Structure 1
Amino acid sequence: LRSSLLTGFSIPGRLEKLIVTLFADDTTVYLSDLDSFDNLEDTLAEWCNGSRAKFNITKTEIIPIGSTEYQNTVHHNHMIGPLSSKIPQNIHIVQDKECIRILGAWIGNKVSTHAPWNKVCKEIEDSLEHWGKSHPTIEGRRLIVQMTVAAKTQYLTSAQPMPDVITTKLEKMVHTFLWGDAQAGGINKQTMHSSHQRGGKKLVDIHARNDAIKLKTL
């Protein structure tokens, strides 16, 4: 792709143009309005023939980047630019306020910072409800919180910082899962977060975990 005829993005201060980023089996391609979609398809077909791999073009999703006028033109004409061929109808062009997942992060135009987190919260809520039906012990509930609330939010927090309102929502979900609807739990929160040596349960502290992730990204 980098040696193809594609123009890609020019980034100030960098000699190389940005055309593609790869991770495992995910490929993100950056096309300018001077590129043509059929050139991309031809390049991918050539690569697949040489590598004996198969590229699932039907799973491709396109996010128009640029002015509102340009984005509207892409949606209306189903073309990325005046020199481009038509984008096949079976390829999804992402609409405003719609987000798609790229390498664990949720990306889109005019997307609320809460949008991706609402999906995660719903998944966690459903998971905790499912586990709660087995009536686990308090230690079992702690382990379940670690592998649902902690595990399902850690990577996304590093990619897209967790809003405070989501942090509060998750903490309430954890409290309810541990102690039911009671306002006060059997063990106070500070003790639950403490280590076993200090008589605690080493329950994930979402606030502290999020702060630690922020420090790593500075």
Structure 2
Amino acid sequence: MFSLFADDTTIYLASTDSWSTLWQVLDLWCTVSTAKFNTKKTIILPFGSPKGQVVLNRKISPTSTQIPGDLKIISDQQTCRVLGAWVGNDVPYLTPWPKVIEKISRDLIQWNTQKPTLEGRRHVINMSIGGRTQYLSRVPGMPKEIEKTMIRKRDNFLWEGKKPHIAHDTMCLPLDQGGKQIWIYIQGMRRLTYGI
């Protein structure tokens, strides 16, 4: 099965599939479309019961042709990116979040030097925290401790390091009830709205 999105291609193979047939099909497709696969960026993520044999023997089945040595095979507890989401086997669920938190922290520090108004701070939170967490929280989900970190960062930036001026329950009111819709995307498709 193929999944094509922009310039990313994801291919799913079963242990009964042929590695050499796959590359014959890909070579033909590249010839016809004038596209070219960058083998330096090609990553193989084994999963299911024969994954150990793929890593050790570089074969998807005992009878298949060997996977070339220049292609990277992801071992357990390693990750690779598939359309922006970090995936892998036996991976701690926090894997993508430290880098995201670091980028958000840099954003907020940079924006803070501009002394934005309260309304400006609301927009920065939506762009930085909301924008950088939206996709990841929908794909792998946002762990509770990351959710708490994002809320702390939001409150610290919004209130300039001071104690919040408004109770959390009041902050959660929607726009038509006096809120200002500050978004943080949490736990898959669930969205929390914070008003000020």
| Among 65, 81, 84, the residue aligned to 1:85 | 65
- In structure 2, the CA distance between the partners of 1:34 and 1:200, relative to structure 1 (3 Å rule), is closer
Instruction: Say whether residues 1:186 and 2:165 are aligned partners.
Output: yes
Which deviates more, 108-117 or 128-137? 128-137
* Map of 1:154 onto structure 2: 134
Unaligned runs of 5+ in 1: 1-18
**Cα distance in 2 between the residues matched to 1:37 and 1:126:** 44
Instruction: Say whether residues 1:139 and 2:119 are aligned partners.
Output: yes
Unaligned runs of 5+ in 2: 192-196
1:64 CA drift (Å): 0.8
**SS in structure 2 opposite 1:200?**
coil
RMSD, aligned CA: 2.4
TM-score under structure 1 length normalisation: 0.76
Cα deviations by residue, 1:78-108 (Å, 9 ceiling, x for unpaired): 2222223222222211121122221333211
**SS in structure 2 opposite 1:128?**
helix
- Divergent runs of 4+, >3 A: 186-200, 209-212
Greater fraction helix? 1
| Among 34, 43, 49, the residue aligned to 1:52 | 34
1:133 CA drift (Å): 2.6
TM-score under structure 2 length normalisation: 0.83
1:57 CA drift (Å): 2.5
CA contact (8 A) 2:19 2:60 kept: yes
1:66 CA drift (Å): 1.6
Higher relative contact order (CA 8 A, sep 6+): 2
* Map of 1:109 onto structure 2: 89
**Cα distance in 2 between the residues matched to 1:94 and 1:122:** 25
| Among 12, 23, 48, the residue aligned to 1:41 | 23
Number of residue-to-residue matches in the alignment: 191
**SS in structure 1 opposite 2:86?**
strand
| Among 18, 27, 30, the residue aligned to 2:9 | 27
CA contact (8 A) 2:140 2:188 kept: no
